[in-house]
Structure 1
Amino acid sequence: MTTFLLIIIYLAFISLGLPDSLLGAAWPVMQSDLGARLDTAGFLFMTIAGGTIISSLVSGKVLKRFGTGKVTFVSVFMTACALLGFNFAPSVVWLVVCAIPLGLGAGAVDAGLNDYVATHYKAHHMSWLHCFWGVGATLGPIIMAQSISGQNSWRNGYFTISAIQFALVIILFLTLPLWNRVTKNSNIAVNEDYEDASFDEDGNDIKPLQIKGVKLALASFLFYCGVEASVGLWGSSYLVNVKGISAATAAGWVSLYYAGITIGRLITGFITFKISNLTLIRMGQIIALVGAAFLFLPLPTIFSLVGFILIGLGLAPIFPCMLHETPTRFGKTHSQTIMGYQMAVAYTGSTFVPPFLGFIASQSTIGIFPICIVIFVAVMLFSSEKLNALLKKKDFKKRKKPV
């Protein structure tokens, strides 16, 4: 029964991934069809992510009152309805209206499922969970590319994704009793071996944000999501306007970026049995930096494709491994609160970094895209390494401290 619940959770994360990559893949066609500015996609994306921030901040109370199963069901239903609204939207204004429930539908279920898996399951389950998000994120632009190239209609792409979402809604509705049954009879053991970081060296209770390293962790999440979202949103526009690639081909290439994230997380799930989370985070950041450099350097167009794939593969282990490290880094006492902070900051990165990049591009050129990605990845790597050094120093002091 516990395994079957995991399958349901994986399906829920597919539903989270499906709409995340649609807007960027479809925007080159949507922009001309609706007569919108280039940076309008950034404001739409910001609206979606803003709704996600709000729902994630209140997710604790909502999940406690209604349970993870019901919240997941309602959230996916909201997402399906919003995507159907995108299909029928006659103007940008209606897209903004539909973007609100699209964002609200994602936040609560995302925060709830991440906290549940981080606390109750091993690291490989977290990687595979986000791998299933990548399955949805990869399928999104593939379906949109088929709709654009076959019928020259971005609306049909949104309609197809909406239909898939409604199918998942039915599955979630039929399996609602399973959540309560598993919760009551669960034999999943919560890891009790986390070091408690909720007290300072003198034994005084401290607030979550006062724990050493938390702010550096938040910075890592901010720039990680900034990179992931920016590449997904502006990648197609960069390829179309700078590299001269057709919109359908560009959408297909961006789908390979999400495929890199998906395949990378599938592989990461197995690698976590042998390699630590910290090592995987560092390796992923270096690979992503190399991929971003491929986009930045004046190389043949094919290297841009390689760059997108490398960025996807590099980003793959970073987010799930950072999430899973939360209780280990900062103690179990405050792990739920800090997890909420991390998710809120992550969505903040998704909300503001891509529009910021879009604003710069609209004032200059979309050619600024690879330069910004290199800078964002470099800052993420710096924050992460500084956090590792701080935690290593803290651990060294604890081992030297006399008992």
Structure 2
Amino acid sequence: MIAADNRRAVQSAATAFLSLAAPTAMLGVIWPDVRERFDQSLGALGVAALVYGLGRATTALSGPMLMRWFGMGRAFVVALSILALAVMSMALATTWPMFLMALACVGLASGPIDSLSAGFITTIRDVGSSGLIHGAYGVGATLGPLIVVAVSSWRLALGFCGVIVIGAALVALRNQQAWPDITPYVRKAGSRAPFAPTALSLGAFSAFVGMEVTTGQWAFTQLTEGRHAGDALAAIAVALFWGGLSVGRLVLVRPSVRELADRVGLSRLALMSLGCVASLAFVPPELTVVSLAFAGLTLAPIVPTLFASTAARVGADHAPQLAIFQLLAAHLGGIGVPFLTGQLVDTMAPSVIVIIIVTAAATGALLLGAIERLPIRDSAPRTA
């Protein structure tokens, strides 16, 4: 259960994550209309993902600085206000450069939300809270493609996302005094985190976030261009992938679910997810909705658990620093893998999408196997 003192802070972070997920999750689904409007190639989605990812990575380390300047609560309000303006600018863009500039600003505003939340999750060390916050991202990512299906244009869909972000900013404004007192991390002279756990953690975050983002952005193209599925079916399949992630993370608030995930093991869950995404290459398109939903469900516990257990791998003294670098590694994976996918789609064929996703999943599973064999350095739970 979530500590009573942290509930409003978790609520604020979760709402922020939901709002920043929706516009990025719909990017792959609105892409056919966007690329036609701005006369771009199919693979240019990789360029759009790169621009967004670079913007998000640029501010991914800004959390400690923003905490010193504004405090946690006010920093969330500022970031969400900028995010709302950026999403609305995407909806109103009239040229390709304007669209890319607005998308970069969406990334720039998303990075601080990531950074602040990572510090919060690492400090309170609660898998349930981590699952709830990351699960809310899945809720937003599920809503994004469904909004596109429900409305008449990509501009209107982005406009709806802008309204969602404004709502999240109002929640943050109401809860800005509810955050626990978190001291920004300052590295001690001569203090270094252990190398092997650090390297394995960074690799795992890069692989799994790269897999998540690539699946969310490129599965629609794989299904429509590579498997000739209908647009509505493909959009629903993508929404169910994010829905599986969302449900799998939200239920982590239940101790029985966390215990089940521990018994199965993160590396086995990763292998299950790998099998599901691999099936996109050969199962009938109608069954891909099941494959993607189960892929999201089995993938769900991995990132929240890795974040919440950071101190167990490197010790409490090094956990805040590693949390920030894990976030940066996640962004690099979320940038590099989708961008590489776009380059290969333009030079090869949409079928390469599944190969890239499976490779990222296999890499992550191997790294998780090594992480599970690491000694526990700090097992004491902590609350703020």
Count of residues paired in the alignment: 369
Match of 1:372 in 2: 356
**CA RMSD of superposed structures (Å):** 2.3
Structure-2 residue corresponding to 1:315: 299
- Residue 292 of structure 1 corresponds to 277
AA in 2 matched with 1:268: L
CA distance in 1, matches of 2:318, 2:214: 31
**Corresponding position of 2:381:** none
User: Is residue 3 of structure 1 aligned with residue 7 of structure 2?
Assistant: yes
How far residue 277 of structure 1 moved from its aligned partner, in angstroms, is 4.9
Q: Which has the higher contact order (CA 8 A, sep 6+)?
A: 2
- Unaligned stretches of 5+ in structure 2? 378-384
Confirm whether residue 81 of structure 1 aligns to residue 65 of structure 2: no
2-structure distance, mates of 1:6, 1:233: 27
- Taking the aligned partners of 2:258 and 2:240, their CA distance within structure 1 comes to 26
Give the letter for the 1:46 counterpart: L
Q: Deviations over 1:38-75 (max 9, x none)?
A: 12211111111111111112322122221111111111
222-231 or 246-255, larger mean C-alpha shift: 246-255
User: Paired residue for 1:228?
Assistant: 212
Match of 2:136 among 112, 115, 132: 132
Secondary structure in structure 2 of the residue aligned to 1:70: helix
- 2:228 aligns to what? 244
User: Which residue of 2 is the match for residue 343 of structure 1?
Assistant: 327
Equivalent residue number for residue 118 of structure 2: 114
Correspondence for 2:36: 32
Secondary structure in 2 aligned to 1:333?
Answer: coil
Tell whether 2:341 aligns with 1:357.
Answer: yes
* 1:333 shift after superposition: 0.5
Which residue number in structure 2 is paired with residue 14 of structure 1? Answer: 18
Instruction: Give the whole-Å Cα distance in 2 for the aligned partners of 1:277 and 1:323.
Output: 15
Is the CA contact (8 Å cut-off) linking 2:118 and 2:327 kept in structure 1?
Answer: no
Out of 104, 107, 121, the position equivalent to 1:103 is 107
Q: Which moved more, 1:254-263 or 1:265-274?
A: 265-274
AA partner of residue 156 (structure 2): N
Corresponding residue number in structure 2 for 1:334: 318
Residues 316 and 224 of structure 1: is their aligned pair in 2 closer, same or farther, counting only changes over 3 Å? same
Task: Judge conservation of contact 1:277–1:322 (CA < 8 Å) in 2.
Answer: no
Change (3 A) 1:278 1:387: farther
Note closer, same or farther for the CA distance 1:33–1:249 as it changes in structure 2 (3 Å cut). Answer: farther
Q: State the distance in 1 between where 2:146 and 2:41 align.
A: 24
4+ runs of 1 displaced by more than 6 Å?
none
Larger radius of gyration: 1
Q: Please say which of residues 325-334 and 247-256 is displaced more in the overlay.
A: 247-256
CA, structure 1 residues 364+220, in 2 after alignment: closer, same or farther (shift >3 Å)? same
Provide structure 1 residue ranges, at least 5 long, that are not aligned to the other structure. 191-197, 396-403
CA 1:324/1:121 → structure 2, altered by over 3 Å: closer, same or farther? closer
Mapped to 1, the partners of 2:243 and 2:208 lie a distance apart of 17
Which residue of the other structure, out of 249, 252, 258, is the alignment partner of 2:242?
258
1-side partners of 2:16 and 2:265: how far apart?
25
Deviation, 1:145, is 1.5
Structure 2: distance between partners of 1:144 and 1:63? 35
Percent of aligned pairs sharing the same letter: 22
Q: TM-score, normalised by structure 2?
A: 0.90
1:388 is displaced (CA, Å) by 2.4
CA contact (8 A) 2:6 2:180 kept: no
| 2:107 counterpart of 1:123 | no
Q: What do residues 197-224 of structure 1 show as CA deviations (whole Å, max 9, x unaligned)?
A: x99xxxx96522x433211111111110
Partner letter of residue 284 of structure 1? L
Preserved CA contact (<8 Å) 2:35 2:42: yes
TM-score (norm 1): 0.86
C-alpha displacement of 1:117: 2.3
